[in-house]
Structure 1
Amino acid sequence: MPARKVSKIITGRYTIDGAGVKLFRLFSNNEAHLFDPFLLLDSFGSDNPADYIAGFPWHPHRGIETVTYMINGEVDHGDSLGNKGTIKSGEIQWMTAGSGIIHQEMPQETPGRSIGFQLWVNLPAKEKMCQPTYRGITADEIKEAKIGDATAKVVCGKVNGVTGPVHGLFVEAEYLDISLPAGKSMSHKTHAGWNVFAFVYSGSGQFGTGKEPVKEGQVALFGEGDEISVIANGQLKFLLVSGKPLREPIAWGGPIVVNTQEELQHAFEELQLGTFIKHKKI
């Protein structure tokens, strides 16, 4: 198959979520069909604690997985499974909401700039009501692989003999955090038929066969093919994420993503009735 070209570039937009957290939203429900099986990507970064300290108090999720990755900063978390802890710099929380979980994520004041990302991954229809699980991944569990002139932290997937620490996913996916020095280039084989995107969080570069310019705060969605190429203008850092699409209907209401409007209505009815949580209560 041919190498991939960039089919769409999206510039993120500021929004307010949680209890008043200022976020940079790259894509969400309006674009989710393009990124299948991925639903949403948020970037949060500020040197002003007022932008993030209010956090995300207790709230529900169903039908998705959330992947929270901290580059710099700390987030305290707790959930209805009884998990408590802190996501520190370089660490990841991979949470499977499944049949339903209630959790909170509360950023802590950070010296310098707080930087992190949250990605939502859709669950297949047959797994929407699976048992909720939580995985905390420390920085030393995330190994690095070389891709040409680039260095990639492998969160999930396998790259040049390096396997990411996240296994047993409900969707087939690859999640890389890539650093490419100024003026250097890389190419990376991707699975044909998978959706692939890159989110530039520092610097700028040229992406795909057309060498499309993509800068900090933008997502490049790639078209069909089995390889992507990147050239760094200056020092470039970006997330490279790919996954096998589910091609299933989506019914989305806030923190809940199911397949039909009836399922969505039922989920919110359960929240009101106090029957939303299916796992053993802690």
Structure 2
Amino acid sequence: MKVIRSQKAYATKDGAGVRINRIAGFDGKSLDPYLMIDELKSDDESDYIGGFPPHPHRGIETFTYIRKGGFEHQDQMGNKKAIRSGDVQWMSTGRGVVHSEMPLVDEDNGMHGFQIWLNMPAKEKMRPPRYKDSIDTGVPMLVNSEQVELRALAGAWSMDSQVIEGVIQGLAGDGAIADVILPKNAKAVLDVSKHGKVLVYIHSGQLADSAFAAGNLLEVSPSEPLKLAAAESGLGVLVLAGQPINEEIAHMGPFVMNTQEQLREALRDYQLGNFGDIV
């Protein structure tokens, strides 16, 4: 694979003091169609117990994936779901969502999960919100001859000529997300040629014959097959792909629109209660 650039996640806090590692790209270019990748990984309950109390969004899609532990999701659409290990959840917020994500404590395994933001095209930012999760269906998985697991979280994927459809379809920017887990010294090849942007976030282990380890994001060329090889420590990566939207971004906290006036309108609508309330 051809690495175009690399970026290291930085430590920060969000919600009610939740410690996370973040990759941000609100310039509308570096991650497009993605905006942000937040990783929550801790065995210390105090790092995440405050959770994410009720808050609004407009103009983005949020994609949550839990590897260990869990969160209880609630929103003004009436959804109340326990998102646990192995589950994914997608909210296309459109014109407005109010939701909360509060931790379900797992004293044995701690917490490891992701929330990923995708930008929505201008023409779709004010449509009604949508919600979907994998609780009833589970997440499809491919396993190759070297026991590499590809968990198809969203979109469609091809690994070593095997094809699989993810549990969630229809992400903004034709987004596709997979969790690929490689045992030590194992290899896998993914076909990413249909995408305009391909990002690889290392969440565990290390790439073979490189210094890239957990916490690094790589942008790779979609013109070449994505060849993954694990070091002695094994390797776990999120692969995020899609088509850049290439639109101007105006960002303020939980709102991502195209102009400053649209941001002011979003704030006014939220303050007036037009987003609704969690019941």
TM-score of the superposed pair, with normalisation by structure 1: 0.90
User: Structure 1 residue 265 and structure 2 residue 267: aligned?
Assistant: no
Q: Is the 8 A contact 1:36 1:247 kept in 2?
A: yes
Closer, same or farther: CA 147–27 of 1 in aligned 2, 3 Å: farther
Match of 2:153 in 1: 155
State how far apart, in whole Å, the 2-side matches of 1:272 and 1:140 are. 37
Partner residue of 1:27 out of 24, 34, 38: 24
Deviations 1:7-48 (A, max 9, x none): 111111110111111111123425x52110000000001111
State how far apart, in whole Å, the 2-side matches of 1:226 and 1:218 are. 20
Number of residue-to-residue matches in the alignment: 272
Alignment root-mean-square deviation, CA: 2.0
Partner residue of 1:125 out of 122, 126, 131: 122
Deviations 1:159-210 (A, max 9, x none): 323211112334312211101121122221113551111111110004xxxx
Partner residue of 1:55 out of 42, 51, 57: 51
Secondary structure of 1:167's partner?
Answer: coil
Closer, same or farther: CA 91–224 of 1 in aligned 2, 3 Å: closer
Match of 1:201 in 2: 203
Displacement, 1:223?
3.3
Larger CA deviation: 99-108 vs 142-151: 142-151
Partner residue of 1:225 out of 214, 223, 226: 223
Larger CA deviation: 6-15 vs 266-275: 266-275
Secondary structure of 2:236's partner?
Answer: strand
Match of 2:94 in 1: 98
Deviations 1:67-100 (A, max 9, x none): 1110010101110111112101110111111110
Secondary structure of 1:213's partner?
Answer: coil
Q: Is the 8 A contact 2:202 2:215 kept in 1?
A: yes
State how far apart, in whole Å, the 2-side matches of 1:271 and 1:127 are. 18
Letter in 2 for 1:262: E
Secondary structure of 1:266's partner?
Answer: helix
Q: Is the 8 A contact 1:152 1:179 kept in 2?
A: yes
Match of 2:12 in 1: 15
Partner residue of 1:85 out of 73, 81, 86: 81
Partner residue of 1:134 out of 125, 131, 136: 131
Closer, same or farther: CA 134–23 of 1 in aligned 2, 3 Å: same
State how far apart, in whole Å, the 1-side matches of 2:90 and 2:241 are. 16
Q: Is the 8 A contact 1:147 1:188 kept in 2?
A: no
Match of 1:254 in 2: 253
Give the share of equivalent positions with the same residue, in percent. Answer: 35
TM-score of the superposed pair, with normalisation by structure 2: 0.91
Closer, same or farther: CA 281–146 of 1 in aligned 2, 3 Å: closer
Deviations 1:114-167 (A, max 9, x none): 100010011111100111111121385211124563220111222323211112
Stretches of structure 2 lacking an aligned partner (at least 5 in a row):
none
Secondary structure of 1:215's partner?
Answer: coil
Q: Is the 8 A contact 2:25 2:31 kept in 1?
A: no
Stretches of structure 1 lacking an aligned partner (at least 5 in a row):
none
State how far apart, in whole Å, the 2-side matches of 1:148 and 1:178 are. 14
State how far apart, in whole Å, the 2-side matches of 1:171 and 1:251 are. 18
Secondary structure of 2:30's partner?
Answer: helix
Match of 1:274 in 2: 273
Q: Is the 8 A contact 1:148 1:186 kept in 2?
A: no
Q: Is the 8 A contact 1:148 1:185 kept in 2?
A: no
Closer, same or farther: CA 91–193 of 1 in aligned 2, 3 Å: closer
Secondary structure of 2:29's partner?
Answer: helix
Displacement, 1:230?
1.7
User: Structure 1 residue 75 and structure 2 residue 71: aligned?
Assistant: yes
State how far apart, in whole Å, the 1-side matches of 2:226 and 2:244 are. 18
Match of 2:3 in 1: 6
Letter in 1 for 2:178: L
Displacement, 1:218?
1.0
